[in-house]
Amino acid sequence: MRIIEAKDYADMSRKAAGIIAAQVVLKPECVLGLATGSTPIGAYDRLVEMYEAGDLDFSGVSTANLDEYKGLDRENDQSYYYFMHKHLFDRINIDPVRTNVPNGMEPDSGKECRRYEELIESLGGVDLQLLGLGHNGHIGFNEPAEVFDKETHCVDLTESTIEANKRFFASVDDVPRQAYTMGIGTIMRARKILVVASGEDKAEIVAKAFYGDVTPAVPASILQMHPDVTVVADAAALSKIPR
Ligand code: F6R
């Protein structure tokens, strides 16, 4: 595991965007696994700037997002589909046909999860998976549990995740209770993983996930077992790691 310390959020975003850009330059037809949440927004902005400057071409790139709320349609401004189009896809020259987000409107969970796993496989797997880190150690919507859920599955969101996400909704009652998410196995099959973390509120979980025990009680801790993980975090998020 490589830990790259950034000064602050802006620096973290530049460094993370640089790693994603390098992947696209080295393999123009790569598959990027993407994340939503507040942490990657700055990195997406930097990628858009590189594209606008003529330094990046996304025309051959395919993407597979980590997760989507079940029950939200694409037009809902809180859906991850909407988020990805707003922050990245509509601002670069990616072919929309090559962008993939789990279909939150598919009511048959088994069917949608199988479809998504097969889709990732048909793309040849994910080259670089971008991840944010939840305060409870979740990655995607893989919440603390007794076992690692391996494949794409439908989850019941925990109270702490509902609480953390309510800032994006009119009220806590509007936060969906279920989501589709890549499983831990799906994430671990990515050839490379890039984790972004920013802010003091992430310091404790960063230390626990990357320096503590590997346990499904802290889902991100499994990343310690992956051969190619880069964590780009700012000084505040790294303030509790053992030095
Ligand atoms: C997003 C996702 C989540 C977030 C995590 C951190 O697609 O799957 O696991 O990465 O909740 O969110 P932020 O970046 O808002 O702190």
Q: Looking at residue 74, what is its pLDDT? A: 94
Question: H-helix or E-strand containing 60?
Answer: none
| Mean local confidence (pLDDT), 20-49 | 98
DSSP conformation class of 168: G
The reported pTM is 0.96
Q: Looking at residue 159, what is its pLDDT? A: 86
- Residue of minimum CA distance from atom 11 in ligand 1: 134
Backbone angles phi, psi at 51, to 5 degrees: -65, -45
pLDDT band at residue 1, thresholds of 50, 70 and 90? very high
Map residue 100 onto helix, strand or coil. Answer: strand
- Residue 186 Cα to ligand 1 middle (Å): 17
Per-residue pLDDT tens over the stretch 47-106: 999 999 999 999 999 999 999 999 999 999 999 999 999 999 999 999 999 999 999 999
Per-residue pLDDT tens over the stretch 194-241: 999 999 999 999 999 999 999 999 999 999 999 999 999 999 999 999
Q: Looking at residue 196, what is its pLDDT? A: 99
Q: Looking at residue 100, what is its pLDDT? A: 98
- Residue 116 Cα to ligand 1 middle (Å): 19
Kindly list the distances between the CA atom of residue 61 and the CA atoms of 49, 65, 70, 201, in Å, as whole numbers in the listed order: 17, 13, 26, 33
- Residue 43 Cα to ligand 1 middle (Å): 14
Q: Is residue 138 annotated as part of the catalytic site, yes or no?
A: yes
Per-residue pLDDT tens over the stretch 117-150: 999 999 999 999 999 999 999 999 999 999 999 9
Q: Looking at residue 184, what is its pLDDT? A: 98
Nearest to 31 by CA among 150, 182, 192, 229: 192
pLDDT band at residue 157, thresholds of 50, 70 and 90? confident
